[in-house]
Chains A and B, each alone.
Chain A
Amino acid sequence: MSHTELNDEANASKLESLSVRLDEAIQWLADAPNYAKPGKVRRVFDAARRLLMVEGGCAVLESRAAQFEASGVFNGSDWMYPQILLPALASLSLKSPVADTVIIEAISELRLLAIAMGDFDHPAMSAEQAHHYLTQVMALNLDLLFGTPSEAEREQQGRLALATRLLLRHLAQRIGYEHVIDQLVDEIWRILQQRPIQVDNIKKMVTQIAATRGNPDIDLGNSGQGADRLISSLYGTTQACREDPGVVVYQERLDSMDSGALQYEASGFARAMHDTGLVSPYHAVLVRHLQNQGSYLLSEALGLSSTGRDCLLCYDDLVHAIIKEGIFAQTAQGIYGLALMLERGILYQPPVAPALWRQISLPLSVYSKERLTLAYGYEPSPRARLLEGVLCMLGQPLGVGQGNNPTCQSARALSMWAYNDPDYLLQMVVWAARDDEIIIHFEGQPISSRDSVSGVAKELPFDLDPVSLIVVPHLDRIYAEMGRRCIGREGDPHRWVNPEFHGWWSGRGFRINVDVATGKLDKLEDFLRHFYASYHPYYNGNQPLIHPQPAGIAVTDSAARFIGWHAITVLRVSLDPQEVMRVYFFNPNNDSGQNWGDEVVVSTAGHGERFGESSLPFEQFASRLYIFHFDPLERGELANVSNEELQRVIDRVHRSWGADRVPAKELQADPGV
C-alpha cells in the first residue's frame, strides 16, 4: 500500500469519526429548547471547525446544510436570514480573528452552496440567489482562493486561515473557477458602469484577476476574456507600457518620443479611461510629461470633446497647476475627474475657477493632514490627495458613495452640491479641511460641527473618498444636531432638516405617507396623486425637474421585505429609450444595482441612465417612495391619475414595505378578495 493511500485511509477514517461527532452535536442542539440552544452551539462549532480543517470536510458540512439550519445553529444571528447576507461582509467574517465568526460564516456559505446546487430547498432563498451570492463571495475573496495566508492572517487566525482556504477552494470546485472569473469580470463591469469615485477595491480585484491569469497552474479555459480590457486599462494600456515596465522606465521612453508617438500614447490612455473609468498610473506619468508639450496633446490625453477642450483652453493655467499639484501615479484617478469636470463646463461659473485656485494651495489643518495620511499614506502629499478627491467629486458627482457607514444623508448632500452647486461644495471642503469646522444655519440659528456632540455614525469612517473623509464627519454631526433641534415637533423631522441642510432649492413643501406616531400608512392615495402632480411630466404640465430634490425611500430586500429608510436624490423624470416614464435618481450607497423585490429591480445601465444614475419606472419608484419635497407655490391640485395605475402602485406598497403598515380602517374598507 502506497504512502498516499495510507494517508487517504487515515483521512477517510478521520472524516468518518468527525462526521459522527458532528451529527451527534447537531442532534443535541436540535433537541434543545430555544432558550437552551446558545449553550449547545459550541459543540456543533467545534465539530464543524475540525471538519473544516480536514480535506473533504467541507463536503460533509455541505451535506448537512438542512440539518444545520433546522437545528437552530443560526438562531438569533444575521445568518438566520440568508437573504439579507451581504457578500462584502462575508470576507470580513472569514478573516475575523474570532474563530466562531469564521466558523458560522463558513457553515453558512456551505449551506448556501447546498441551496445553490439544488440539494436544499430553502424557504427564503432560491438556488439562483444563493449561486449569485456565492459567486460574489468568491469574487471578493479571490485572495483566499489563490493566495497564501498573509502574515496578518496567520497572526490573527492561526490555522483557521487554512480552513478558509479549503472552504473557498471547495466553493470554487463546486461552482467552477471559470465561472467565478466570468462573474467577477461581469460584476466589475457592472459596478464600473456606475462610475464610482472609489475604485480601490475594483483595482485590487483586477490585479487579482491579472495574477490569476498569469498563474500557469490555473486553467481558466475560455473564461475571463472580458478581463483583458480591465487589466490593460490599469497595466499595459498602450504600446509603450504593454509589458508593465514600471513608471521609471516608462518616463524614459516618453522622454525619447516625438509628438506623433506621444499622441498615440495619449489617445490610447484616453480611450481606456473613458471606456472603463479606471486610470492607469502610467497615464499620470504621461499627463505630467505633457504639461510642457502644449494643450493639444493634453486635451488628447484627457480624451476631451469640443466642450471640454474649450474649457481647457480657457483655463489653461489652472489646469496645468492642478496637474502639477494633484496628479501623480498614486492619484491617477484625478485625471478622470479632471476630464469630466472640464466636460461639465462648470469652470464657467464665476466662483468655481478661483475656488479651485484656492484649493490648489489650501493649507490643511494638522488634523486633516493626519486623517488623510492615515487613510491614504504619505505619498503624495495630503493636499494632493484632497485635490484628487475634489476633482473626482466635481467630475463624478453621482459617484459619491457612503462606504460602510450610516451617513447616506451626508453623502447625498455632497453629491447634490457637486452636481448643483459646485462652488458651495468647494467652500465646505475649505472649511472642513482648513478650519476643522463647518457652520450651517438652521432656522436662523448657527450650528457648528465643533459644538455638536455626536453624529449618526458611531465611529469616524475611513472607507471613503478624500473629500468625504474630511467633510462627512462634520456634516454628519450637523445633520444629527438639526434632528435633535426638531425633537418634540410633531411629524417627521426631515420636513425641516432637508431644505436647511441641502440647500435653498430643496422644496419647502413636504409630504410623507407614514404616520410618524403609529408607523402606519397615512393618506397614501393623496400622497401618490400629489407626487404625480409634482414630478410626472404628464401631470405637471410637462415641466422637467429643475433642481435635484431629496427624497426618502423605504428600502426593501429582494423578498420585498422592509429593511430601512434611505435617503436618495431625485434627479430627473423622463421617457427612456423604450418610451417608459422613468425616475432617475442618485443613491448614495456604493452599489445601486439592487433588487428591491416584487420585480422592482433598480437599473443602473441600459435604460438611458447617465453614469451613476439609478432608475426605475415611475410606478415602481412611487411604490417605494415615502417622503418627497415640492415647491408649495407650484400648482398643488392632486393629479388625476387613473385608478388602475394608482391601484397598481398601492398594491405594490401593500405587497412590500407597507404590508404590516396598513391602517385598520383601510383594511375594513377592503372588499376582501
Chain B
Amino acid sequence: MTEQKSAKRDPNKGYVALLGWSLSAVEAADKFDRRYVVVAPDWAEAYCKEHDIPYVPWNFERLNDRSMEIAQTLKDMGVDVSIPLFEETVEWAGAINSVLLDNPRLFGQSLLLRDKALMKRRAQLGGIRVGIFEEAHDKADVVRFLKRVNQTLLKLDGDPNDPIHLKAFDKAGCLGHRVIRTPDEVDTIPDEEFPVLMESHLDGWEFAVEAWIHNGKIRFLNISEYVTLGYSVFVPATPELEKYRDAITVQIEKLIKTFDIEFGFIHPEYFVTSDGEMYFGEVAYRPPGFKVFELLERAYGFNAYQGLILSFDPKTTEEEITNFFPKEVVDAKGVAGCFGVYPRRRVVSRLEIPAETEDHEYFESHELTPPVEETVTKRTAFGTHWGLIYFFGDDAHTMRDLLKHQEELDFYV
C-alpha cells in the first residue's frame, strides 16, 4: 500500500478504516485531515489503485474463523478504529473494533444492533417503549400474530384489520418490508423470506434520527422528516416535528445508555403518537440510506461522513468535535429533501420529468435513468426506487407539500 502523501494528514490524529465501498465516504475521508484506509471487496482494487485510494481487500461474507485476519492486518497497520458504512459491515466493525480498541463488549453490541428482534428486546429491557413484536418462522405464525394483534385492539370479526409489518431481521431500511392486512395476503410471502420480524402497526408520525456520539455524548442530533415512508425525506424537519426535539433527545440518551454506546453514529427510527408518546422502531449503527448525509451537507454545509470519522476516532478531542458540528436547525441554510421515484404505470417507455417538477423553484437535480425494460415489475415489498430527485429551498412546509405532491406525478410514461 502506498504511503498517504497528503501533507494535511495529521499523524497525531486517528487512523480510520472504512468498511465497505462508498464513494461519498471515500471522498470525504480524502479531503479530511486523518489517515484512512478503505476495506472493500477486491473488485474495488483496480479503482483504488488508479485513484491512489489507500485500500485493503476484504470480502465481507459471514463472520468466520478468518475474521481475525482482517482485524490483525488493520492493527498491524496502526489503524485505530473501523467504521461500518453498510448494514452488512456492522458486525465486522464490532468484531474488528473489539480487537483494535481491546474491548470485547463491542462485538456483542454490534450483534445486538444487527438483529431487529434482539434489538427490540434489549430496548424493552431498557425501559424504551416498543410496539408488539414477535418472530415468525412460517406463514402460520404470521396469521396467528395478525389475529392476536387485532383481538388485542378489540376488533370484531368483519371490522377492517389493523395492518402488521413484516421485516427481515438483518436488512437495511425498507428492504424486505411488507405490510399485511388480511390472512389472504400472507400467501403472497415467499417461503424463503422467513424468518421475519412482525410488528404491530403504530398509528403515529414516523421519523428518523441521526445522532453522532462521542464519549457517550450526543454531538449532533438531526431529525429527518419522512413525508411518506419509502418515498421522501427532508432535513431539517418542520417546526411541528422539531418541537419534540427535547423529548427525542431524552429518548436517544436512553438508547445510548441501554445499548452502551460510547462512540460512533446511530440512526434510529421512532413513531410519535398523537399524545406525544415515542415508540422505538429500530436502530442502525451505520449511515442512513436515502442520501440523508448528502441532504445534511446541502442544508448545513458540513460533511456528515467527516462527522462520522470524528465520532468514531478515539483521538478526537472535545474541542475539535464541538467546533465541527453546527448548531441544529438554526444553522441550516435551507431545507434539503429528496424524493424516490417509482414508476406508477405498468408499462413505461421513457423518462419524462414533469415540467412542474423541473420548473419548481426548489428543484435541484435528479438521478433518474431512462427505463431499461418496458414492463414494470410489480412491487411486492417496498422495493427499491428508480432514482432520487433532489430539492432545496427555504421553507420546510413548502418542501413537505412539494415532496408529497410528487407522489401523484408520473416520471415514467
Contacts and interface: CB of A to CB of B under 8 A. Distances in A.
A32 B31 CA distance: 9
A35 B366 contact: no
Given A17-B361, A50-B358, A159-B355, A36 B27 contact: yes
Which among B350, B358, B364 has the greatest number of chain A C-beta atoms within 10 A?
Answer: B364
Interface string A29-41: 0011111100100
B363 interface: yes
Closest 4 pairs (CB-CB, A-B): A46-B365, A35-B51, A36-B27, A43-B365
16 contacts: A17-B361, A25-B365, A31-B31, A32-B27, A33-B27, A33-B31, A35-B27, A36-B23, A36-B24, A36-B26, A42-B365, A42-B367, A43-B365, A50-B359, A50-B363, A158-B352
B30 interface: yes
A21 B364 contact: yes
Contacts of B358: 49-50
A398 to B, nearest CB: 43
Contacts of A34: 51
Interface in A14-57: 17, 21, 25, 31-36, 39, 42-43, 45-47, 49-50, 53
Given A33-B51, A35-B47, A159-B355, A43 B364 contact: yes
A53 B363 CA distance: 14
B131 interface: no
B364 A35 contact: no
Nearest to A42: B365
B399 interface: no
Interface string B391-411: 000000000000000000000
Contacts of B51: 33-35
B370 interface: yes
Nearest to A39: B23
A46 B390 CA distance: 10
Interface in B33-69: 47, 50-51, 53
Contact of A35 (B23, B31, B350, B370): B23
Contacts of A31: 31
A426 to B, nearest CB: 47
Interface of B: 23-24, 26-27, 30-31, 47, 50-51, 53, 350, 352, 355, 358-359, 361, 363-367, 370, 390
A516 interface: no
Contacts of B30: 33
A162 B85 CA distance: 44
A98 interface: yes
Interface in A284-324: none
B365 A35 contact: no
A42 B27 contact: no
Contacts, number: 45
A218 to B, nearest CB: 30
Contacts of A25: 365
A35 B44 CA distance: 13
Given A36-B23, A42-B367, A46-B366, 20 more contacts: A21-B364, A31-B31, A32-B27, A33-B31, A33-B51, A35-B26, A35-B27, A35-B51, A35-B53, A36-B26, A39-B24, A42-B365, A42-B366, A43-B364, A43-B365, A45-B365, A50-B358, A50-B359, A50-B363, A53-B359
Contacts of A39: 23-24
A158 B350 CA distance: 11
Contacts of B50: 35
Contacts of A50: 358-359, 363
Contacts of A158: 352
A301 B197 CA distance: 90
A91 B365 CA distance: 25
Interface string A453-479: 000000000000000000000000000
Contacts of B23: 35-36, 39
A386 to B, nearest CB: 38
Which among A17, A36, A45 has the greatest number of chain B C-beta atoms within 10 A?
Answer: A36
Contacts of B47: 35
A47 B390 CA distance: 12
A21 B391 CA distance: 11
Contacts of B390: 43
A21 B363 CA distance: 10
A49 B30 CA distance: 30
Nearest to A47: B365
Which among B23, B53, B350, B365 has the greatest number of chain A C-beta atoms within 10 A?
Answer: B365
Interface in A67-93: none
Contacts of A32: 27
A331 B367 CA distance: 49
Given A36-B23, A36-B27, A46 B364 contact: yes
Contacts of A42: 365-367
A585 to B, nearest CB: 42
A666 B358 CA distance: 61
B361 A98 contact: no
Nearest to B47: A35
Contacts of B355: 159
B317 to A, nearest CB: 26
Which among A25, A42, A46 has the greatest number of chain B C-beta atoms within 10 A?
Answer: A46
Which among A25, A43, A45, A98 has the greatest number of chain B C-beta atoms within 10 A?
Answer: A43
Contacts of B352: 158
Contacts of B53: 35
A49 B359 CA distance: 10
A32 B363 CA distance: 22
Nearest to A98: B370
Interface string A328-371: 00000000000000000000000000000000000000000000
A159 B355 CA distance: 8
Nearest to A36: B27
Contacts of A36: 23-24, 26-27
Nearest to B352: A158
B363 to A, nearest CB: 7
Contacts of B24: 36, 39
A387 to B, nearest CB: 42
B93 to A, nearest CB: 23
B40 to A, nearest CB: 14
Contacts of A47: 364-365
A36 B22 CA distance: 10
